[in-house]
C-alpha cells in the first residue's frame, strides 16, 4: 500500500513543499530505504522512527519499507521529516487510517520515546501551508507559538507521536494554538536600556537621531571608553516600533536558524547583532554547504554593530558593500541562487589609531604616522563611501560623568524617539506609493531620481555644496548621501525645503572622507 503525507523542507529562509511517500510490503521485520537525495541527518531517522513507534505502542508494518522524498533533486538535511515519515509508514502499513492527513503539513523530529522535538522553520512552514491552501500544520508544541502568528492556518501542537496519530484519527481532539499578537507586542516590545544612561556625548546623540530618522549608516571614531558601544546598543530604542510585516520577516530568519527562544512567537523588538571581528565571511554574510543567513540578515530591520571595524578581515568587510546598497544578500550555488533579506542599519566603531589614543587630549599616542595610516587604510575607501555619517566620539569630561539630574542624563530615548517618529511620518507621506514595490521608504534609500526631486537647493546651498565637493573631494555617491542627510535634517526640523544650515550640518558629517 502506498501513502502520501505532506511536509516541508527549508531552502534558505523559505519553506518548499515536500511530499513523503511510503510503500510497505507485508511482514514483521524492519528494513527502511530512503530515496530522494536525503542527507545524513535524514538517513539517520531509521533507528529514531522505529524506536519512537515501538515505544509509542505502534508495530513496525513490514519487512520492506520504501520512503520517497519529493522533489527528488533537492537536498533534504533536516530531522523535521521524522514525524511525516513515521505517519506515512503507519498509514501505508495499515497501522491506522486518516481522512484528513492531506489537509495538513507535518514537521517534527522524533525522540526515541516518541516525543516530538522542536525544529527550525515552523513559521515558514505555516506560511507555506497558507499559500498552498492547506487547513493547517501539525508542529512540535515548542514551535506552535511562532507558527500560530500566520492567519488562516490551524496550528496543531503535539508533544508525542501518539498525539499526532490521535488527532489524525479523530480520537484526540486538539485545539489549534492561538496567539494574541497585540499582547505579544505590548509585553515583549520593551527595551531595558536608554540613551539617558549615556553621560555626555550630546553631539553624538544628535548624529544618531539623524541616522535613525533617515535610516542612515553611521561610523563612530573615538578612543577606548568614550561610549561608542553604549551608544550603538541603544539605537533600537529610538527607532520606530516593528510593524507586523517587519516582525514576520525578521522572525522567519531567526526561525530558519533555530534562534527563537522556546515558546517565543515573534521578534517584537528590533534586533542588534554584534559579531566579533574574528567572524568568517560565511558567518557574517551567510552561506555554507547548505546556505544559511548570516549576521547581516539576522540584523534585518535592526542594527548591525561592527565594533573594532578595522580588525575585521578586509575581504570580509568588502562583502557587506552589496547588502548595504541592495538590501539583500545573494548566495550563488551551482543549482540555485538564494537571496536573504538584509535591510539593516550599519553602525561601525573604530579607534583613531592602533593604540586608540590619537585623538585623546589626556592620553599620549605612541603610534607613528605610518602606523596610523596603515591602520586607517584597513577599511577601504569604497566601503567608507557607503557609510552616510562619520562622527568623532571624544572622551567624556569628568563634569559630564558626575553631573546630576536632568543635566546629567541629557537626551533620553523617549525624547529622541519622538523626533525620529515625526521625521519618519514626513517621509512616509512623501514616499506614498513607494519605490520598487515598497510601500514606505526612508531618505537613505531614495533613488537618484527622487534625490533630484526632493533635495532641491537654493543658490546659497548650491554654493556650499560646490565648495564642499571641491575641497573634500567627495564622490558622486557621497554627493547624493550629503543631500539625503540634509533632507533628513530638514525633516527633523519640520522644514519643507533644505536650508543652507541643514546642508552645512550634513556636510560636516562627511568630513572624515578627507582624513581617511
> Do 156 and 246 lie in a common domain?
no
Per-residue HEC secondary structure of 143-200 comes to HHHHHCCCCCCEEEEECEHHHHHHHHCCCCCCCCCCCCHHHHHHHHCCCCCCHHHCCC
Judge if 288 and 421 occupy the same domain: yes
Summarised one tens digit per residue, pLDDT across range 268-318 is 899 999 999 999 999 999 988 778 899 999 999 999 999 999 999 999 999
E-assigned strand segments in 318-458? 328-332, 337-341, 345-350, 389-392
* pLDDT at 363 exceeding the cut of 90: no
Q: What is the CATH number of the domain that holds 362?
A: 3.40.50.300
Specify the pTM. 0.89
Taking only the tens place, the pLDDT of each residue in 122-144 is 999 999 999 999 999 999 999 99
Residue with cell 557607503: 386
d(C-alpha 52, C-alpha 112), whole Å: 5
Q: CA nearest 283: which of 386, 291, 14, 148?
A: 291
The answer to whether residues 243 and 356 belong to one domain is yes
Residues 278 and 145 both lie in one domain: no
Last residue of a domain, one of 430, 458, 474: 430
Domain-embedded: residue 39: yes
Q: What is the pLDDT of residue 514?
A: 59
Helix (H, G, I), strand (E, B) or coil at 22: strand
Q: Is 242 part of any domain?
A: yes
Convert the pLDDT of each residue in 429-464 to its tens digit. Answer: 998 865 554 445 799 988 888 999 999 999 999 999
- Tell me, yes or no, whether 144 lies in a domain: yes
Note the pLDDT of residue 114.
95
Torsion of CA 209, 214, 216, 222, to 10 degrees: -10
H-helix or E-strand spanning residue 17: strand 14-24
Residue 516: pLDDT band by 50, 70, 90 thresholds? very low
Range of the domain at 205: 190-430
Backbone angles phi, psi at 121, to 5 degrees: 85, 25
- Are 92 and 160 found together in one domain? yes
Structural domain contains residue 182: no
Output b/e per residue, 79-94; b: 16+ Cβ within 10 A: bbbbbbbbbbbbbbbe
Is 393 found in the same domain as 325? yes
Q: Would 96 be classed as within a structural domain?
A: yes
What is the DSSP track for 59-118? Answer: ----S-EEEEEESTTS-B--GGGHHHHHHHHHHHTTS---SSGGGEEE--EEPTTSBEE-
State the DSSP code for 397: P
Yes or no: say if 17 and 121 are a contact pair by the CB < 8 Å rule. Answer: no
Domain-ending residue, one of 430, 463, 478: 430
- Strands in 294-400 per DSSP E: 303-306, 328-332, 337-341, 345-350, 389-392
Examine the domain organization and report whether 153 and 88 are in the same domain: yes
* Residue 178 within a domain: no
Residues 288 and 408 in one domain: yes
Sign, CA dihedral 70-74-76-80, equals negative
Residue 336 pLDDT exceeds 80 = no
pLDDT one-digit tens code per residue, 62-118: 778 889 999 988 888 888 999 999 999 999 989 999 999 999 999 999 999 999 999
Residue 177 belongs to some domain of the structure:
no
Please check whether residues 208 and 307 belong to one and the same domain.
yes
Q: Which pLDDT band holds residue 237 (cuts at 50, 70, 90)? A: very high
Query: Quick one: 358 and 217 in the same domain?
Result: yes
Q: Judge if 289 and 391 occupy the same domain.
A: yes
Claim to verify: residue 120 and residue 200 sit in the same structural domain: no
CATH code of 453's domain: 1.10.8
pLDDT of 70: 93
Q: Give Dmax over CA atoms of the chain in angstroms.
A: 91
Q: Total domain count for the chain?
A: 3
In a domain, 319, yes or no: yes
Helix (H) / strand (E) containing 23: strand 14-24
Tell me what pLDDT residue 397 has.
82
If pLDDT is split at 50, 70 and 90, which confidence band does 406 have? low
Q: What's the average model confidence in pLDDT over 218-225?
A: 92
* Residue appearing with cell numbers 536525503: 38
- 22 DSSP β-pair partners: 3, 67
Q: Are 12 and 256 in contact (CB under 8 A)?
A: yes
Contacts of 2 (CB under 8 A, 6+ apart): 21, 22, 23, 92
Amino acid at each position: 500500500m502506498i501513502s502520501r503525507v505532506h511536509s516541508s523542507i527549508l531552502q534558505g529562509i523559505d519553506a518548499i513543499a515536500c511530499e513523503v511517500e511510503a510503500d510497505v510490503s507485508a511482514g514483521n521485520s524492519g528494513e527502511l530505504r530512503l530515496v530522494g537525495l536525503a542527507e545524513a541527518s535524514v538517513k539517520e531517522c531509521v533507528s529514531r522512527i522505529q524506536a519512537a513507534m515501538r515505544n509509542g505502542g505502534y508495530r513496525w508494518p513490514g519487512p520492506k519499507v520504501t520512503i520517497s522524498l519529493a522533489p527528488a533533486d533537492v537536498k533534504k538535511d533536516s530531522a523535521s521529516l521524522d514525524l511525516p515519515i513515521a505517519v506515512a509508514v503507519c498509514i501505508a502499513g495499515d497501522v491506522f487510517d486518516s481522512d484528513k492527513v492531506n489537509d495538513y503539513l507535518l514537521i517534527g523530529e522524533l525522540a526515541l520515546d516518541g516525543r516530538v522535538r522542536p525544529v527550525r522553520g515552523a513559521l515558514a512552514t505555516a506560511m507555506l501551508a497558507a499559500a498552498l491552501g492547506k487547513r493547517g500544520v501539525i508542529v512540535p508544541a515548542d514551535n506552535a507559538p511562532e507558527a500560530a502568528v500566520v492567519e488562516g492556518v490551524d496550528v496543531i501542537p503535539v508533544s508525542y507521536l501518539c498525539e499526532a496519530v490521535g488527532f489524525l484519527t479523530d480520537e484526540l481532539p486538539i485545539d489549534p494554538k492561538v496567539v494574541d499578537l497585540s499582547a505579544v507586542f505590548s509585553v515583549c516590545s520593551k527595551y531595558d536600556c536608554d540613551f539617558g544612561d549615556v553621560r555626555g556625548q550630546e553631539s553624538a546623540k544628535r548624529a544618531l537621531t539623524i541616522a535613525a530618522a533617515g535610516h542612515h549608516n553611521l561610523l563612530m571614531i573615538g578612543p577606548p571608553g568614550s561610549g561608542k558601544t553604549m551608544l550603538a546598543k541603544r539605537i533600537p530604542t529610538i527607532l520606530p516600533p516593528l510593524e507586523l510585516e517587519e516582525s514576520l520577516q525578521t522572525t522567519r530568519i531567526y526561525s530558519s536558524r533555530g534562534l527563537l527562544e522556546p515558546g517565543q512567537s515573534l521578534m517584537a523588538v528590533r534586533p542588534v547583532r554584534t559579531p566579533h571581528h574574528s567572524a568568517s565571511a560565511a558567518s557574517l554574510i551567510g552561506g555554507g554547504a547548505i546556505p544559511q543567513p548570516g549576521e547581516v540578515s539576522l540584523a534585518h530591520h535592526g542594527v548591525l554593530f561592527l565594533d573594532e571595524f578595522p580588525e575585521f578581515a578586509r575581504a570580509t568587510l568588502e562583502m557587506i558593500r552589496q547588502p548595504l546598497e541592495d538590501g539583500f544578500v545573494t548566495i550563488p550555488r551551482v543549482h540555485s541562487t538564494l537571496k536573504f533579506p538584509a535591510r539593516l542599519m550599519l553602525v561601525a566603531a573604530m579607534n583613531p589609531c592602533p593604540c586608540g589614543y590619537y585623538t585623546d587630549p589626556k592620553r599620549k599616542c605612541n603610534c607613528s604616522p605610518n602606523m596610523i595610516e596603515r591602520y586607517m587604510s584597513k577599511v577601504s575607501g569604497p566601503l567608507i563611501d557607503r557609510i552616510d555619517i562619520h562622527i568623532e566620539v571624544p572622551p567624556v569630561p569628568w563634569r559630564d560623568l558626575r553631573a546630576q539630574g536632568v543635566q546629567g542624563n541629557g537626551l533620553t530615548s523617549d525624547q529622541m524617539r519622538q523626533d525620529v517618529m515625526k521625521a519618519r511620518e514626513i517621509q512616509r507621506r512623501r514616499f506614498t506609493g513607494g519605490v520598487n514595490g515598497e510601500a514606505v521608504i526612508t531618505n537613505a534609500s531614495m533613488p537618484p531620481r527622487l534625490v533630484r526631486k526632493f533635495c532641491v537647493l537654493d543658490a546659497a546651498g548650491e554654493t556650499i555644496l560646490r565648495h564642499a565637493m571641491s575641497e573634500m573631494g567627495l564622490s558622486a555617491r557621497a554627493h547624493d548621501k550629503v543631500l539625503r542627510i540634509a533632507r533628513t535634517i530638514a525633516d527633523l526640523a519640520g522644514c519643507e525645503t533644505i536650508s543652507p544650515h541643514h546642508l552645512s550640518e550634513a556636510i560636516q558629517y562627511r568630513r572624515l572622507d578627507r582624513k581617511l
